Amino acid sequence: MKRFAKLTRRAPSGLLDYHRRWPLRLVMVATLIFLYAPVVALMAFSFNDSKRNIVWHGFTLKYYEKLFANTELMQAFANSLTIAFFSTLISVLLGTLAAIALWRFKFPGQRLYEGVMAMPIVIPEICMGIAMMAFMARTGWPQDLIWPLNLGAIMIAHVAFSFPFAAIVIRARLESFNRQLADAARDLGASEFHVFRDILFPHLSPALLAGGLLAFTLSLDDFVITFFTSGPNSVTFPVKIYSMVRFSVTPEVNAASTILIAMTIGLTAIGLRLHYRSQFQETAK
Amino acid sequence: MENWRKSPIVFMFTLLPPALWLTAFFVLPLSLLWLFSFGEKSGITGIDITWTLANYARALEPLYLGIFLKSLWIAGATALICLIIGLPVALAISFASTRTRPWLLLLIILPFWTNLLIRTYALIATLRGNGHVNSVLGWLWKIFGAQFTPLEILYTDGAVVTGLVYVHLPFMVLPVYAALDRIDRSLIEASLDLGAGHVRTFFTIIAPLAMPGIVSGVIITFIPAFGAYLTPDLLGGPDSQMIANVIDRQFKAANDWPFGAALSFILLYAAFFGLAMRGLIGRRAVMGRAP
């Protein structure tokens, strides 16, 4: 925090203390209530001892127990974690390679490559979902493989939109790498593999972890693209929650949602912390 | 940066795997969809690529034009409301003390990390007939001894706009905040010293200087709202369908893939147009600032 304070400008004078004026305070507080009240209510009512989701009847964990007894939902949860795990591994691998290629080399078509890589991030989700669905249907992608191979189509789609994000995080870390270190190692006879393993990799490791956590949450969180690529036997946690939500509002859905919220917020917080710490370390040196 | 020819093996090793993945599982599916948009249905599942433009022409029929207009209207209302809420919020954050600022920013971004589906579900529970909004209102009415009939909020266009604002507000606050943060504070002080009021200072000094951020915020809230699928699906009524829902129907219930593909590409071109505009305006802002 101290380091951060130095970078920002001096505190505003009394004349410009806009944040202390009541209209702005009011908007700020109202906005935060608008953003948080529905989600906090959702999480609170997952512990409510009543089927109807409105009045507080006392604390219970029975909806969580019910949740863990629901085999379909647990299967969907296992599917989500499996997909996220493999998608993360591949995304970090591809993201690292892409980041290194773009950082180290000058090559024709570089701008085009960067542009195409940014596309999965910016195009409407429905377009990507539909495209993947059409692609899997037309290439005759096998539908009824044994678990976990039946999740392959979803994993492939998740990697396609996750690895560009991982590449961005990893490339940001590469910017702080001293190229001369690698050059020196090569001059002293290290092979490309040794340079990567002993010099580049240790420097990159916080970003690899941060990029990995980002890819994991993206995969765990995705609904629209998964919805279009999943089949009847490859239902993920969000897709399952969707079918429950369509059906009705129940405390069980609240409990399932609360678990997912806790997981994604926890993972993203760790990921961002690592990302910023790794960047601040470099600027401090 | 070194020329790739200096170490072609390392270059190919780092370039090819991600490039191939992107080609096979992103460019190729999209190209296939693009081809379908010029095709005709033959039989139940067959599609002949006849390079017809009929699918695009069909999108201009009054029914679909109406849905495009509705999507434009909903996305426009979303962007406008996000701006009206987001501008004062961004202003409050940028003038907050250096200690509270990161926390306020975090509070704005945090909901962004929770699942879209779950946030939409939370809104269903809040807005429905016996939801939180209605129970709070009913409770207030009771205090004043009035008869309360629950409001029909859910399954309307208003609910869709509320849902989209709820989800996209951070997209507005962050770029506007970034633009406000770059403004030279002495300009604002000068304006106030010279006798302009706070409102006038805002409209003649702060807003024009923050314009690139405002434009960027409007565009990046508009684009995802325009292509929204889940929010109108869950919060909207039968007549609050947006383009993405129609696309979904073409690929599932209606089984008209060529038409669905054409609609997808119209949506995609609209998104690219918006992004290009944003790039153009951003570049002009940078050039205008250079001496």
Q: Which of A8, A13, A18 to mutate to test the interface with B (most CBs of B within 10 A)?
A: A18
A38 & A89 share domain: no
- pLDDT value at position B150? 80
Query: Which residues of chain A have a CB within 8 Å of the CB of B234?
Result: 245-246
> A122 and A247: one domain?
yes
Closest residue on chain B to A118 (Cα): B22
The verdict on A42 and A113 lying in the same domain is: no
The answer to whether A158 touches A222, Cβ cutoff 8 Å, is yes
Alpha-carbon distance of A80 to A264, in angstroms, equals 12
pLDDT over 50 (residue B291): no
Angle between helices B62-94 and B211-226 (to 10 degrees): 140
Residues A126 and A20 in one domain: no
> Which pTM was predicted?
0.87
Q: Kindly tell me the burial class for residue B28, based on how many C-beta atoms sit within 10 Å of its own C-beta (0-12, 13-18, 19 or more).
A: middle
pLDDT range class, residue A282, cuts 50, 70, 90: low
pLDDT tens-digit readout, A64-81: 998 888 888 889 999 999
The more confidently predicted of residues A58 and A92 is: A92
Please indicate, yes or no, if residue A47 is contained in any of the structural domains.
yes
Mean pLDDT of B55-68: 92
Nearest to A135 among B29, B88, B192 (CB): B29
Chain B interface includes A118 (CB < 8 A): no
Which residues of chain A does B132 touch, with a Cβ-Cβ cutoff of 8 Å? 37-38, 41, 54
Q: pLDDT digits over A135-156, tens only?
A: 998 887 877 777 788 898 999 9
Q: What is the pLDDT of residue B149?
A: 79
| Interface A-B: count of C-beta contacts within 8 A | 254
| pLDDT on residue B96 | 86
Of A86-100, A186-200, A205-219, B131-145, which one has max mean pLDDT? A86-100
B113 contacts on A by Cβ (under 8 Å): 217, 264-265, 268
Weakest-pLDDT range from A5-14, B58-67, B94-103, B195-204 = A5-14
Does residue A7 fall inside a structural domain? Answer: no
Whether residue A12 has pLDDT greater than 60: no
pLDDT band at A283 (very low <50, low <70, confident <90, very high): low
Which range has the worst mean pLDDT, A1-15, A78-92, A201-215? A1-15
- Do both A123 and A24 map to the same domain? no
Nearest to B221 by CA among B162, B164, B276: B164
Residue A111 lies in a domain: yes
Domain span at A137: 64-284
Are A138 and A40 in the same domain?
A: no
A84, A51: one domain: no
Minimum mean pLDDT range among A160-174, B28-42, B171-185, B188-202: B188-202
C-alpha to C-alpha distance for A223 and B286, rounded to whole angstroms: 37
- Asked if the model's pLDDT at residue A273 lies above 60, the reply is yes
Are B228 and B116 in contact by the 8 Å Cβ rule? The answer is no
Which chain B positions have a beta carbon within 8 Å of A231's beta carbon? Answer: none
Q: Which of A177, A198, A209 is nearest to A281 (CA)?
A: A177
- Stretch B41-67: mean pLDDT: 87
- Specify the pLDDT at position A171: 92
| Mean local confidence (pLDDT), B49-58 | 89
Task: Compute the mean pLDDT over every residue in chain A, rounded to the nearest whole number.
Answer: 85
Side-chain-side CA neighbours of residue B277 (13 Å) = 15
- Cα separation, A51 vs A67, in Å, equals 14
Task: Give per-residue pLDDT as tens, B9-21.
Answer: 889 999 999 999 9
Q: Provide the pLDDT confidence category of residue A37 given band limits of 50, 70 and 90.
A: very high
How much of chain B, in percent, has pLDDT values that exceed 90?
48
pLDDT confidence of residue A117: 93
Domain residue extents for chain B: 59-289
Report the number of distinct structural domains present in chain A. Answer: 2
B257 to chain A, closest Cα gap in Å: 9
CA distances from B141 to A38, A52, B58, B136, B137 (A): 21, 21, 50, 9, 6
Residues A171 and A34 grouped into a single domain: no
Does residue A44 belong to the interface with chain B, where contact is any CB pair within 8 Å?
A: no
Q: Are residues A255 and A208 in the same domain?
A: yes
Q: Which of these, A63, A56, A114, A109, lies nearest to A253 by C-alpha position?
A: A63
Task: Please indicate, yes or no, whether residues A84 and A113 belong to a single structural domain of this protein.
Answer: yes
- A10 pLDDT tier (thresholds 50, 70, 90): very low
Tens of pLDDT, residue by residue over A258-272, are 988 888 888 888 877
Phi, psi of B235 (to 5 degrees): -100, -20
Under the banding of pLDDT at 50, 70 and 90, the label for residue B79 is very high
Closest residue to A160, CB basis, from B22, B104, B192: B22
pLDDT reading at A114 higher than 50: yes
Give, as one character, the DSSP assignment of residue A140: T
Strand ranges (E), chain A: 105-106
Indicate if A29 and A127 belong to the same structural domain.
Answer: no
Read off the pLDDT band of A5 (50, 70, 90): very low
Residues A27 and A141 in one domain: no
Per-residue pLDDT reduced to its tens digit, B254-271: 889 999 999 999 999 999
- Chain mean pLDDT for chain B: 89
CATH class of this structure's domain B59-289? mainly alpha
What is the pLDDT confidence band of residue A60, given thresholds at 50, 70 and 90? confident
User: Tokens 């240790």 — which residue?
Assistant: A202
Mean pLDDT of A22-47: 90
Q: What is the pLDDT of residues A197-245, one digit of tens each?
A: 999 999 998 889 989 988 998 998 899 999 999 888 889 999 998 988 8
Q: Which of residues 48-107 of A touch B (CB under 8 A)?
A: 52-54, 93-95, 97-98, 100-101, 104-107
